[in-house]
Structure 1
Amino acid sequence: MSTTLQDPAHKACEEIATVFAEVPVTALETLAEEIGGARRIAVHGVGREGLMLRALAMRLYHLGLDASVVGDMTTPPLGHGDLLLASAGPGHFATVEALMGVARGAGARVALLTAQPEPGLGALAHNVVRLPARTMAAAGAGDAVLPMGSAYEGALFVFGELLVRRLRERLGADEAAMRARHTNLE
């Protein structure tokens, strides 16, 4: 056994990094354009995927965008000009499907992040970004360091940070402006 965590940490980071070998830059660009052009953005994911999208919503807010998390009491209604950004790593969650239907019915656009595009949810989305990582639904870990759906959740977090980086460039935002929007109630 190693005396440091460097080797397993490196392997965990590799498990996440390999996901991006299959994600075209155009997927990031298209989603950045969609988010940057939306009047309002609401994000939704279940479980740990939801936590990754909450982190993304926070950064979108720091960028000066009108971003919220589905389920929070302050989430506004979505309609024309708005975007629902949802995650369904394993391909389908009934709650995600229902919310996508509501958003579309109200005239909002829908973007879906997933590891396993499923025809049902894919048909409800205007934009699907595939992050091909192991999810909770995948069998067996083999020699993976990251358990269960952690590879997808980690890739989701990294993709969100890359998205924020691209949006910063697109919007001309700098870190000082982002920091000024950070809460002081910590």
Structure 2
Amino acid sequence: MENYTLCILKELTQNARKINTEQISLVLDKIKKANHIFLSGVGRSGIAIQAFANRLLHLGFEVSIVGEISSPHSCPGDLLIICSGSGETTSLRSLAERAAANRVDIVLVTMKADSTIGKLASSILTLPGVTKDENNRSLEGFSQPMGTAFEQLVFLTFDSLVLNLMDESGETSETMFKRHADFE
């Protein structure tokens, strides 16, 4: 039996070194300036963005997952963060078009900056990886299936954004815990 954990960590470490810190700074600025933050993704990217929304809530931001019944109407000055490896997911493209029409700022977290959603976004955080439709042997014959490395790196990148926001705002685990759900 192969221990793939070390292979995965090696791949993620190599990919993380390629992240553009200027793009991270721009995303952080957009988050801090937003009146309300809407977040959306589908599949495993959607799970990652839900976890990010939860931490933004713990930091005190006004957030909503697109599609939930308690999500408010959007307004100019709001921010939509979309996580889509390809930047071409049909439902997310429609969402981005609607947001652009409503003058909502769009951030795209993706592997494909030149995608349809990328062309609508005001800021893009490009993470390295291969989409579910691509096949790449990235590490001496090792390759995770169907965009898995991107999805894993998304989780880590969102957590790094949270840590940056904590540093800048003076938030701690203790202050954030006061905003944690107590009905579970």
Q: Report TM bin, short chain.
A: over 0.9
Pairing 1:72–2:33 present: no
Pairing 1:102–2:98 present: yes
Partner of 1:184: 182
Q: Aligned letter for 1:26? A: E
SS in structure 2 of the partner of residue 84 of structure 1:
strand
CA distance in 2, matches of 1:109, 1:155: 23
Q: Aligned letter for 1:36? A: K
Conserved? CA contact 1:135–1:151, under 8 Å: no
Partner of 1:166: 164
CA distance in 1, matches of 2:137, 2:115: 26
CA distance in 1, matches of 2:74, 2:6: 41
The alpha-carbon deviation at position 75 of structure 1 amounts to: 1.1
Pairing 1:36–2:32 present: yes
The match for 1:132 among 128, 132, 137 is: 128
Partner of 1:92: 88
Cα RMSD of the aligned pairs, angstroms, is 1.5
Partner of 2:153: 155
CA distance in 2, matches of 1:87, 1:119: 12
Pairing 1:52–2:48 present: yes
The match for 1:19 among 6, 15, 21 is: 15
Structure 2, unmatched stretches of 5+, are none
Deviations along 1:65-112, whole A, 9 cap, x unmatched? 001111111111211110000012023111111101111111210000
The alpha-carbon deviation at position 145 of structure 1 amounts to: 5.2
CA distance in 1, matches of 2:136, 2:127: 19
Aligned pairs, how many?
A: 182
CA distance in 2, matches of 1:60, 1:119: 26
CA distance in 2, matches of 1:138, 1:11: 19
SS in structure 1 of the partner of residue 17 of structure 2:
helix
SS in structure 2 of the partner of residue 22 of structure 1:
coil
Conserved? CA contact 2:39–2:66, under 8 Å: yes
Identical-residue share of aligned pairs (%): 28
Pairing 1:113–2:115 present: no
Conserved? CA contact 2:108–2:125, under 8 Å: yes
The alpha-carbon deviation at position 134 of structure 1 amounts to: 2.1
* Counterparts in 2 of 1:144 and 1:75: CA distance versus 1, 3 Å: farther
Structure 1, unmatched stretches of 5+, are none
| TM-score (normalizing by structure 1) | 0.91
CA distance in 1, matches of 2:169, 2:100: 26
